[in-house]
Amino acid sequence: MNRIRWITAALFVALGLFALSHLSAGAESNISVVSTSHVNKFPTNVTFALEANSDSDITKATLYYRIKGSPVLTYAYAKFDPATHIETEYVWNTQRKYIPPGVELIYYWMIEDAAGNRLKTEPSSFTIEDTRFEWQKQDGNNLTLYWYQGDARFANSLIDISNSGLDRVSRDIGLQLQEPVKIFIYASSKDLLGALEPKAQEWTGGRAFSELGIIALTVEPSQSGLAWAGLALPHELSHVAVNQATRNPYGGLPHWLDEGLAMYAEGPLEPEYQRPLDVAVRNDRLISLQSLSSNFPADPEQARLSYAESYSVVNFILSDNGRDKMTELLAVFKEGSTYDDALLAVFGVDMDGLEAQWRLSLGLQPEATPVPVAPTSQGAQDGAVRAEVEEKPQSGGICGGILAIVGAAGGILALGVRMANG
């Protein structure tokens, strides 16, 4: 591990020298840069260092950085006492504003002195790697798989799973990856947790950072690990493909659509999802599509039903209207439409209308049966609350394949979280 760190540090120094040799000096500037460098201490921080001289006191050094593919440019001031020679650094705490492995970062410095000179360094770029492991990599169709435990056959199987998942997404939903995806395979939950933000739940089995085209997943190099990957990889790849096809500055998809497509990408609905769906249909206790449009319930049983319903609605749309209509719907969402307007434009019904059609297809009345309200209860109950009183299906004893959605810090990303098998 030390050797890897040493090599990594050497690379960073090399990058720093590259930056030094490509300075864009201001016309009359007397500022000169002695060195710039960066050290990646994933997952804790990235330290950017600067050494510079000028004839007058250097008063300000601003670091500008942005994630490749993102238009957001962030800046930070390095702290130092004004002097003609400065050695300073800025430590970017990557746990407070979490950054996953595989992100490419671009940065430069702006240096200013008391005489009014300014000097901007040429941008440097590097990838924030998880240097705790010795990664191997293999390319698939528009994706790269990184892994560190297991043999080449294991990696080939994961590539095959990813490719066939993407084939299914393309064939049945009409979506292809538009930008390359990086998949990091961790051999244990402990290893994965070490790569996630400190608040990550212990049961987290994987994450899709859809906006960044990055997936981090726990897959043990074993038959059961591959079986798990057979569901999880197509699921997360669907999230990335959907994000790439619909990304826009105005709004996203209803959760039930994004998750329903991801569940559909996995293949036929697993019995542990089918069972609670059947129970909810039998008792007319489905969670409403309005409720399923935002974050799913945290309760595992309710989460399971939410995913099952999402699959069921997407399956209904695809079998009733076909793949091309789904592609059309996603294209409308890319324009930044509201949920109702998008559905009206493509299917001629709003979300309530779609829900009524879907309910009919399940043998239910178009409208949900109102739940009797106990005298002590307060006011109307929404779908999620209603569903909490439904008969609970028998649990299989392990929380295999339960999915939940949480928002990332800053609300930029929707993260797919899947519980690992117990």
- Residue closest to Zn ion (Cβ): 416
Between CA 287 and CA 302 the distance in angstroms is: 9
Of residues 253 and 351, the one with the C-beta less far from Zn ion: 253
Q: What is the CA radius of gyration of the chain?
A: 25
Of residues 299 and 341, the one with the C-beta less far from Zn ion: 299
Contacts of 187 (CB under 8 A, 6+ apart): 147, 148, 149, 150, 218, 219, 220, 221
Give the length of the chain. Answer: 422
Of residues 111 and 257, the one with the C-beta less far from Zn ion: 257
Min. distance of Cβ 235 from Zn ion in angstroms?
6
Residues that bind Zn ion (CB under 5 A): 259, 262, 416
Of residues 31 and 326, the one with the C-beta less far from Zn ion: 326
* Residue 211 three-state SS: helix
Min. distance of Cβ 327 from Zn ion in angstroms?
20
Between CA 284 and CA 308 the distance in angstroms is: 15
Which tokens in the block code for residue 312? 């069921």
Min. distance of Cβ 206 from Zn ion in angstroms?
10
Between CA 296 and CA 404 the distance in angstroms is: 7
Of residues 235 and 386, the one with the C-beta less far from Zn ion: 235
Of residues 55 and 301, the one with the C-beta less far from Zn ion: 301
Between CA 159 and CA 146 the distance in angstroms is: 10
Contact (Cβ atoms closer than 8 angstroms) between residue 314 and residue 261? yes
Min. distance of Cβ 308 from Zn ion in angstroms?
13
Min. distance of Cβ 260 from Zn ion in angstroms?
9
Min. distance of Cβ 353 from Zn ion in angstroms?
25
Which tokens in the block code for residue 318? 């695809």
Min. distance of Cβ 241 from Zn ion in angstroms?
12
Between CA 42 and CA 102 the distance in angstroms is: 11
Among 261, 263, 256, CA closest to 418? 263
Query: What does the angle CA 118 – CA 119 – CA 121 come to, to the nearest 5 degrees?
Result: 155
Min. distance of Cβ 237 from Zn ion in angstroms?
11
Between CA 78 and CA 86 the distance in angstroms is: 10
Of residues 393 and 416, the one with the C-beta less far from Zn ion: 416
Angle between helices 255-266 and 300-321 (to 10 degrees): 80
Of residues 13 and 408, the one with the C-beta less far from Zn ion: 408
Burial of 93 (0-12, 13-18, 19+ CB in 10 A): exposed
